[in-house]
């Protein structure tokens, strides 16, 4: 599963100081590289031909001033390997620092590792920093983007969950489904879409249920979700609401209160995960 945790935000004010070059473009010699140096905390998203936006939390990246108008950047990830960019150049324009360089990465699995050529392009300033590592020879082209700061709520909860879906109508049991899938898809930093496996309710009623524009909010124990259901299953109109929680360890409890077509009473469906290992 994807472990969900909040990361601390490194001091962005130092970046502004380093990039306070005014209008026009400045080279490394004219940028205060020492003030860009330090350890950045954040999260990373990896994309290749096999997957998209694989999340790694609690990530750190180190920037060091080499003293020769270049920066050394190192990034070690328990998921993605070790990256070393020993001699990166910096240009600055309109308050934003652009960093570029090349180096290598060491990655592998099962105790076997290999070294690959890699490149870096980064942007620092304007309130955020992103470091993009490209490894063209791995998995058809692997890109890893390190984002400084806390994991956005929608990124934290996005994933595929497996659990149970228990239904009631007017308080009476109306079916229960095990090994049931719930997919939560990232829309923007505070919004997700939810798609459920096909539902069999009240004996012979089958429905497809998806919910757009579900709001995600961080809480002390994890995240809360809320939204309105306004969709169709075949030719049947479905309306209602969705609400629930996903805890910091990934355990989900989400309630779908919905009315198919002209049915006089709502169906209440509760999706819940059996354990915290249900999100992938």
- Give 205-211's long-range contacts (Cβ < 8 A, gap of 24+): 205/260, 207/233, 207/236, 207/238, 207/260, 208/233, 208/234, 209/233, 209/238, 209/256, 209/258, 211/242, 211/256
Cβ atoms of 118 and 132 within 8 Å: the answer is no
pLDDT at position 74:
97
Q: Under a CB-based contact definition with an 8 Å cutoff, are residues 55 and 157 in contact?
A: no
pLDDT tens per residue across span 125-154: 666 899 999 999 999 999 999 999 999 999
Residue 157: its H or E element: helix 153-157
pLDDT tens by residue, 87-114: 999 998 877 899 999 999 999 877 789 9
The architecture (CATH level 2) of 158-273 comes to Beta Barrel (2.40)
Residues 6+ apart with CB under 8 A from 97: 15, 18, 19, 31, 36, 90, 91, 123, 124, 125
Instruction: Identify the CA nearest to 252 among candidates 175, 173, 192, 189.
Output: 192
pLDDT at 3: 39
Q: What mean pLDDT is reported for the chain?
A: 87
The CATH topology of domain 13-151 is Lipocalin (2.40.128)
CA distance 81 to 273: 31
Cβ–Cβ < 8 Å for 131, 75: yes
Q: What is the pLDDT along the chain (280 residues), one digit of tens a residue?
A: 343 333 322 332 333 333 333 345 666 656 788 888 999 999 999 999 999 999 999 999 999 999 999 999 999 999 999 999 999 999 988 778 999 999 999 998 777 899 999 999 999 866 689 999 999 999 999 999 999 999 999 999 999 999 999 999 999 999 899 999 999 999 999 999 999 999 998 778 899 999 999 999 999 999 999 999 999 999 999 999 999 999 999 999 999 999 999 889 999 999 999 654 446 6
Q: What pLDDT score does 99 carry?
A: 96
Same fold, 13-151 and 158-273: no
The three-state secondary structure class of 182 is strand
In whole angstroms, give the CA distance from residue 64 to residue 70.
Answer: 9
Instruction: Please give the pLDDT value at position 17.
Output: 37
Domain boundaries, the chain: 13-151, 158-273
CA 46 – CA 34 distance, rounded (Å):
29
């Amino acid at each position: 599963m994807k472990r969900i945790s909040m990361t601390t935000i490194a001091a962005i004010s130092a970046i502004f100081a380093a990039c306070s070059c005014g209008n026009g473009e400045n080279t490394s010699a004219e940028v205060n590289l020492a003030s860009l140096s330090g350890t950045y905390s954040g999260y990373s998203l990896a994309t290749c031909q096999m997957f998209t936006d694989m999340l790694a939390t609690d990530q750190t990246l180190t920037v060091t001033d080499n003293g020769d108008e270049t920066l050394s950047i190192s990034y070690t990830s328990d998921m993605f390997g070790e990256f070393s960019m020993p001699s990166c150049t910096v240009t600055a324009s309109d308050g934003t620092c652009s960093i570029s360089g090349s180096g290598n990465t060491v990655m592998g699995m099962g105790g076997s590792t290999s070294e690959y050529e890699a490149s870096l392009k980064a942007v620092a300033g304007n309130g955020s920093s992103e470091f993009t590592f490209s490894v063209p020879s791995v998995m058809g082209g692997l890109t890893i983007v390190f984002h400084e700061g806390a994991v956005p709520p929608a990124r934290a909860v996005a994933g595929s969950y497996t659990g149970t879906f228990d239904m009631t109508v007017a308080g009476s049991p109306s079916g229960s489904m095990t090994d049931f899938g719930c997919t939560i898809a990232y829309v923007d930093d505070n919004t997700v879409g939810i798609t459920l496996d096909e539902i069999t309710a009240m004996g012979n009623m089958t429905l497809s249920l998806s919910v757009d524009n579900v709001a995600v909010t961080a809480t002390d124990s994890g995240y809360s979700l809320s939204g309105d259901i306004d969709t169709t299953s075949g030719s049947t109109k479905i309306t209602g609401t969705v609400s629930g929680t996903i805890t910091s360890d990934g355990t989900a409890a989400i309630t779908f209160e919905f009315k198919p077509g002209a049915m006089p009473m709502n169906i209440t469906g509760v999706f819940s995960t059996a354990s915290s290992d249900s999100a992938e």
